[in-house]
Amino acid sequence: MFIISKELPVNENDIQINDLNDEAVRLMKNYEQTGSLENLNEAIRITEQVVDMVGEYITPNILNNLGAMLGMRFERTGSIEDLSCAVDIANMAVDATPQNHPDRAGRLNNLGNLLGRQFERTDSIEDLNRAVDITNMAINATSQDHPNRANRLNNLGNRLGTRFKLSSDINEVSAQVTDIKNL
């Protein structure tokens, strides 16, 4: 497994690693603008190369980027393998991010979204329940005045609506609405 590090050990590869990571992010953003699957595939390849280069000293940011890229490729190709890997890697990024880190809420939200997509593909109630729990954690880690708070609350509402459709348990929905009001 990985040793999660906030800083890569200092060595001659640092500049190359940073340059490769920057290039991968540039390609990912280019994919978002153009839809070029070639760019996304290359971004994933480069990020996997970075992971190999840093070895056990992987950073949460690199993990988060790789999980996001694999999630994007799943959205484009429908590859359940990409989605499964994206969930695993996003989970590792969350686990590696300290509780009070400013990026934690966003990483939790990313994981919740990926779990929600995984539920849509697998119909696993465990994935849906975990998506609800993780999204709750993302909201709790988001300040009241944060610009993404409304989006995260919306994500939670959508997941709770899905769960209600499956269970038709009005008491559960009522309890969840009360909990949301207290967030």
Question: Is the pTM above the cut of 0.75?
Answer: yes
In this structure, the answer to whether residues 17 and 65 fall within a common structural domain is yes
In this structure, the answer to whether residues 51 and 138 fall within a common structural domain is no
Domain count, the chain: 2
In this structure, the answer to whether residues 72 and 109 fall within a common structural domain is no
Domain span at residue 169 reads 99-183
Q: Which of 96, 113, 135 is the last residue of a domain?
A: 96
In this structure, the answer to whether residues 128 and 177 fall within a common structural domain is yes
In this structure, the answer to whether residues 11 and 40 fall within a common structural domain is yes
- The pLDDT tens digits of the residues spanning 96-139 come to 999 999 999 999 999 999 999 999 999 999 999 999 999 999 99
Per-residue buried b or exposed e for 60-81, using 16+ beta carbons within 10 Å of the residue's own CB: bbbbbbbbbbbbbbbeeeeeee
